[in-house]
Chains A and B, each alone.
Chain A
């Protein structure tokens, strides 16, 4: 195996393959694309939030998905993802909605969310959630859409934190697990502690125009 073949196999194996298929023709260009492109959250430096807003979002992401025996939202860079999404993916109205939510949190925490104790921070998030209890966001199977722009701030924040965690490299490989490529086995035992596979594509992207 020469160096190029090695790199090709490495790319495949890092993508979760157990068996390298015969006739594998991963090109240099393709493996370069796979291997060299940095994760999305490292492709640009977030610059949308103020320093204090960024600190608030970090604290909230950490409360939503803390580090336990597995990495948490901050280990996965979910806070960077949230800022990039608000900055680059949200439209103007969505940005205003989100930033108003951040401002409200700040107001209700007496001007500095991060200065509160964890218990106070959590109580505030829980209060926001209970005020939003009748939002459609909580309805079963309501997640089959691209984005719920009518959802309250707290719901959107949680959703961004989840996306930024589960779809990240850390979340996909150290919390969830890659679905091994190479072969198909239709039935395997699933243990009580076995994680779900990471995503090869998001179901919500199938929901765009789907009939109901």
Chain B
């Protein structure tokens, strides 16, 4: 099958790969999409969707034995359960190396559609402040792109995926093209009103999510069953399975192959052009070389970097496009930490439907300049879900019989409000991935090794998130608060926002990719998953990956038409 000619090969079919497939096929290219994961069919294979607790093994209590043997890393994700296990990577079959002193948890999907099936669906545009952050405070290298470059591509993506939210006009968190926002709970309206009066500098808005609140592009609005990560047969949240892959399929230009683990990219004699994509069938072990004029790496941050490192050659001795030495370095994530308050307002109200979304408090520190009292740069936003506790908080009491049973029946007479800070992480060279010199996977590919620690700035941001959360909870009328002291932090990767390791920049001496996600040293290689990220902002990154992917596709196809990519 090595004589098949495609115009483009896309490695990966998740958030970025789906977009690359859609954009390139819609521009008329014949596209081969390769995914290492198994094929699942949209809807049909979401076997955990709407499964009642009583039908799940152990009523949905986590299977600890299997988690320990096969999913020790994946089971750290809140989205991992018996209802979603079919989407996740088997850590025993597909391992990586985790340094116990500098741990990084690599949460991976292993199906066509990738983590677009499992993502948190929160979407926020970056702002000019985000794109200027590195050059302003000197951490990392400047972005070669600014907000104006990306804004039309944000719109392009948003119009397709559907984003619900409220237009607020914040300069530092630009509005998306919104569908109507999701409804507030009564207690959230109370919170919002009180915080607005007492802390007007701390805005609260409804979470911006790629979940439909009305019919959009033939997809049905959300039916509010709750746990999106089980898959959505109505396609009401955006996934490549529900949206971009069907769009690419509809062009007739896409060939999609599952179970294809890409091991290595091969280049021509000049070293400036990828000529072959070597893949192994994970089920049969059969090896195939695919060829195309263009290659888009969308395999996910760490997997794309692993592949570029493993493709080293005489002309690219440190990995592809790595004369800078930056490949594998500057790994980032978001550090999340929760502060919690209890409110006793509006307890005679309830809600209907499981809203898969929460209020959001956009960054309010160091906005438009450095705050005088801030011993840190950058900032954080709070994802801030309100929840109504029930028996799950009430069963650990004394007693037996009718009165004990009665205490399990009603919602608790209070609400819990969690302020979950998502802290921006600075790019540091020490946070890195590299190929292990000796250990290999079952196909002979060197294992990826990871090293990650949080820095002083992240710790300072965590401390500040505690101080500010206390203020916000008090302003909101919380009668009790539980403020995390930061003594126990999440590990790297727990945010599942891993970014960097093949950063973009204007200068080939310090970066791997240029401002169009094109490898500095290889003209027909584009990398558009999270690995290109040069800084992290504090907002959820997927929307930005999608916008950069669409923009890179547009650029690549124009370059191809002008004959610039054929060497």
Contacts and interface: CB of A to CB of B under 8 A. Distances in A.
Given A186-B355, A206-B78, A23 B219 contact: yes
Interface in B17-45: 41-45
B390 A24 contact: no
Interface in B61-99: 61-65, 75-76, 78, 81
A196 B410 contact: yes
Given A24-B220, A166-B408, A199-B392, A185 B352 contact: yes
Contact of A137 (B348, B354, B396): B396
Interface in B326-363: 336-338, 346-355
Given A30-B233, A187-B351, A209-B494, A37 B55 contact: yes
B218 A155 contact: no
B405 interface: yes
Contact of A181 (B41, B225, B346, B351): B225
Contacts, number: 260
A91 to B, nearest CB: 7
Given A26-B233, A64-B404, A195 B409 contact: yes
Given A81-B59, A89-B61, A211 B337 contact: yes
Interface stretch (B3-11, B46-54, B520-528, B545-553): B46-54
Nearest to A202: B60
A162 interface: yes
A113 B456 CA distance: 59
B51 A34 contact: yes
A209 B390 contact: no
A196 to B, nearest CB: 4
Interface residues of B, number: 89
A159 B224 CA distance: 29
A52 interface: no
A161 to B, nearest CB: 9
Interface string A9-32: 001100101010111111101100
Given A162-B395, A196-B390, A196-B391, A11 B50 contact: yes
B484 interface: yes
B35 to A, nearest CB: 21
A24 B59 CA distance: 26
B186 A186 contact: yes
Contacts of B63: 89
A167 B490 CA distance: 30
A175 B409 CA distance: 7
B494 A167 contact: no
A172 interface: yes
Interface in B303-341: 336-338
A203 B396 CA distance: 15
Contacts of B188: 186
B186 A33 contact: no
Given A190-B347, A211-B489, A129 B59 contact: no
B47 A40 contact: no
A91 B68 CA distance: 12
A134 interface: no
B27 to A, nearest CB: 28
A210 to B, nearest CB: 7
B224 A183 contact: yes
A65 B391 contact: no
Interface residues of A, number: 93
B336 A211 contact: yes
B354 A211 contact: no
Interface string A48-92: 000000000000000111101000100000000100110011010
Q: Which of A30, A89, A155, A211 has the most CB of B within 10 A?
A: A211
A167 B408 CA distance: 12
Interface in B218-264: 218-227, 233-236
Given A169-B52, A181-B223, A205 B81 contact: yes
A126 B346 CA distance: 36
Contacts of B189: 187
Contacts of A168: 54, 59
B215 A40 contact: no
A176 B54 CA distance: 13
A146 B60 contact: no
A163 B81 CA distance: 17
Contact of A143 (B43, B186, B220, B392): B392
Contacts of B490: 209-211
A141 B418 CA distance: 13
Contact of B43 (A25, A185, A204): A25
A203 B401 contact: no
B299 interface: no
B64 A63 contact: no
A198 B53 contact: yes
B43 A183 contact: no
Contact of A184 (B51, B75, B81, B355): B355
A212 interface: yes
B189 to A, nearest CB: 8
A106 interface: no
B182 interface: yes
A146 B60 CA distance: 11
Interface in B480-496: 482, 484, 488-491, 494
15 contacts: A27-B43, A30-B233, A63-B400, A66-B405, A68-B405, A72-B405, A167-B53, A176-B409, A186-B355, A190-B350, A194-B410, A196-B388, A196-B411, A199-B60, A208-B76
Given A186-B184, A188-B352, 20 more contacts: A27-B43, A29-B44, A66-B401, A88-B58, A122-B400, A146-B61, A167-B59, A167-B60, A168-B59, A175-B409, A179-B226, A184-B224, A184-B353, A188-B351, A190-B411, A201-B81, A202-B392, A205-B62, A208-B76, A210-B490
Interface of B: 41-47, 49-65, 75-76, 78, 81, 182-186, 188-189, 215, 218-227, 233-236, 336-338, 346-355, 387-388, 390-393, 395-398, 400-402, 404-405, 408-411, 482, 484, 488-491, 494
